[in-house]
Amino acid sequence: MNNYMPTGGIEWSQDWDPTTKLAIKVTRHLHAEKSPYQQIDFFESETYGTFFTLDGLMMVNEKDEFVYHEMITHVAMATNPNIKKVLIIGGGDGGTAREIGRYKTIEHIDMVEIDERVVRLCQQYLPVTAGHLDKDERIQLLFTDGLEFIKNTPDNTYDLILVDSTDPIGPGEGLFSREFYNNCYRALAEDGILINQHESPYYDFHVHGMKRAHLRLNELFPVVKVYQYHMPTYPSGHWLFGFASKKYDPLKDQNREWWESLNMTTRYYNSDIHRGAFMLPNFVMEKMK
Amino acid sequence: MNNYMPTGGIEWSQDWDPTTKLAIKVTRHLHAEKSPYQQIDFFESETYGTFFTLDGLMMVNEKDEFVYHEMITHVAMATNPNIKKVLIIGGGDGGTAREIGRYKTIEHIDMVEIDERVVRLCQQYLPVTAGHLDKDERIQLLFTDGLEFIKNTPDNTYDLILVDSTDPIGPGEGLFSREFYNNCYRALAEDGILINQHESPYYDFHVHGMKRAHLRLNELFPVVKVYQYHMPTYPSGHWLFGFASKKYDPLKDQNREWWESLNMTTRYYNSDIHRGAFMLPNFVMEKMK
């Protein structure tokens, strides 16, 4: 066990809080670029395969991206099989669009990513998440600000909105604002569902984002729940999504039979974890009161 | 976010796998000692309060010890309220004995810890877990090898055995052996339950321990299940316990009403997470096949 970087190498690290960091030995720094929006880096590593960071924060790696992308997608789909029109805000790596695209019942996917360079670089370096983006004709790529896009979206446009954002700093900050959620609510159909990246209950910085997102959703939607999953390369590994909806409840309305009839191969999600993920520790529920 | 160790300080770190480490800025190295069994260190930190390590591995810290100690204890207790006689193997920090001691229905707790120095130092530096050890008269401290102890334990002695071990290296290795589990089975009453530290499904080293523990339990017990929880300071934060039993099933036999009638204050465990924790991701189930 005690053979970390025995032969040298390059160390990548991310601060998880002001006194904690995760460090990963990388074999190659594949790409570094400053886009108009953020610093973008791609690395190659033994344990995680290829991974990329935005402003130094781990976004996606080949080892555990499936956890995040399955959990942002299948909970909503198994709750309402009639979802046809989907908006993804962010998610430039393509993983969320890949998972939602697995449903043949989906007719259209708008993917609104502010930073085209993220998409183009993921297409080059991370085919596992972005490889299908130019192959699925239902996907419309829109390189614009999600905040502006949703402001100009007509009422009742989408059955499902997936907010696949970064932390509430930098380009992701507006995606935690009241105005943004108001417009999402408006743009959703009468039985619409919104899933949002809901930060984490462990370190203070993420607890703040979690509380903020939860407060906003609670002001608007009749159904607001939070579900958790294990995402080891995000700070603390304890990560959350919000499920906000105008009509459907993810537990009462779970359509287990329909979802299982699809025979979809998944590595994290299943019909049981759909339920189990909503069963939260007391300290998480208390922090959201 | 990017202000890790802005003013210097001492860095403690643990290798999570050969290419990954977690580093924590500590404010004081409170104690260092080599016992006959292992290296023992205590540190003070801003985020985690006091924590201690054995052979360099994080054991217990004040920020998240409640997760581990509640989850090792309450699942079994809420399954069989008639548990009276408990054996703890390891658990020198006292946290498991503290949680089990909260049940007035428990009559006797044998706590078998190979290394007396761990207990004495935790009594000095970590009163949050060890402070009650000399106050609860039901607790019998036995400083001896758990492997030898269980070999010499008569049949049908305990209602519950809690294996609160380190990783399967060093003093903890024997606690993952077939002989050890055979003796645990024998020492358990006819409706006995065994809970064991079951490693993690993420990094290869821990996956190996997880498979080994699971195989051993499956050879012996009619009921074998695994449950998960979020333990951010253990490698990957995705950690498991095994539930092995001669009779009771943790889901079918959960006595929710009895447990809730106790009005016990907990920070992680509750009657819902009792169920949710057994709902495992596909990749975890597949690795245990």
pLDDT at A2 (0 to 100): 42
- A229 to chain B: nearest residue by CA? B230
ipTM of the complex: 0.95
For residue B2, the Cα-to-chain-centroid distance in whole angstroms is 33
pLDDT in tens, chain A (289 residues): 344 554 557 899 999 999 999 999 999 999 999 999 999 999 999 999 999 999 999 999 999 999 999 999 999 999 999 999 999 999 999 999 999 999 999 999 999 999 999 999 999 999 999 999 999 999 999 999 999 999 999 999 999 999 999 888 877 788 888 999 999 999 999 999 999 999 999 999 999 999 999 999 999 999 999 999 999 999 999 999 999 999 999 999 999 999 999 999 999 999 999 999 999 999 999 999 8
pLDDT at A142 (0 to 100): 98
CA-to-CA distance for B269 and B152, rounded, in angstroms? 34
Tell me the shortest Cα–Cα distance from A145 to chain B, in angstroms.
24
Tokens for A167? 């932390």
Contacts of B237 in chain A (CB under 8 A): 230, 232, 236-238
Count of A-B CB contacts under 8 Å: 154
Nearest to B47 among A3, A20, A56 (CB): A20
- The pLDDT > 70 percentage for chain A reads 97
Q: Does B2 touch chain A (CB under 8 A)?
A: yes
Active-site residue, from A164, A167, A204, A249: A164
Q: Does A281 touch chain B (CB under 8 A)?
A: yes
Contact assignment for B169 to A278 by CB distance below 8 Å: no
Q: Does A232 touch chain B (CB under 8 A)?
A: yes
Q: Does A125 touch chain B (CB under 8 A)?
A: no
Tokens for A251? 């537990």
Nearest to A237 among B15, B238, B269 (CB): B238
Nearest to B268 among A4, A267, A281 (CB): A281
| Predicted confidence (pLDDT) per residue in B95-122, tens digit | 999 999 999 999 999 999 999 999 999 9
**For B116, phi and psi rounded to 5 degrees?**
-60, -35
Between the alpha carbon of residue A236 and those of residues A200, B170, B190, B227, the distances in Å are 8, 27, 40, 19
Residues in chain B: 289
Contacts of A277 in chain B (CB under 8 A): 276, 279
pLDDT at A6 (0 to 100): 45
Tell me the shortest Cα–Cα distance from B275 to chain A, in angstroms.
7
Between the alpha carbon of residue B11 and those of residues A214, B27, B46, B63, the distances in Å are 35, 9, 12, 18
Q: Is the dihedral of CA B129, B132, B133, B139 positive or negative?
A: negative
pLDDT at B1 (0 to 100): 36
Tell me the shortest Cα–Cα distance from B33 to chain A, in angstroms.
19
Whether residue A145 lies in the annotated active site: no
Contacts of A228 in chain B (CB under 8 A): 230
Domain architecture of chain A: domains with CATH: 10-61 (2.30.140.10), 65-287 (3.40.50.150)
**pTM of the predicted structure, to 2 decimals:** 0.96
B122 within 8 A of B129, measured Cβ to Cβ = yes
Angle at A279 between CA B83 and CA A286, to 5 degrees: 95
10 Å CB burial of residue A284 (0-12, 13-18, 19+) is buried
Nearest to B237 among A3, A167, A232 (CB): A232
Up-side HSE of residue B277: CA atoms within 13 Å toward CB?
32
Contact assignment for B18 to A3 by CB distance below 8 Å: yes
Q: Mapping DSSP to helix (H, G, I), strand (E, B) and coil, where does residue A103 land?
A: coil
Nearest to B237 among A24, A236, A278 (CB): A236
| Predicted confidence (pLDDT) per residue in A96-126, tens digit | 999 999 999 999 999 999 999 999 999 999 9
Which residues of chain B from 161 to 220 reach within 8 Å of chain A, CB to CB? 167, 169, 202-203, 205
Q: Which residues of chain B have pLDDT under 50?
A: 1-3, 6
CA-to-CA distance for A249 and A185, rounded, in angstroms? 16
Q: Mapping DSSP to helix (H, G, I), strand (E, B) and coil, where does residue B238 land?
A: strand
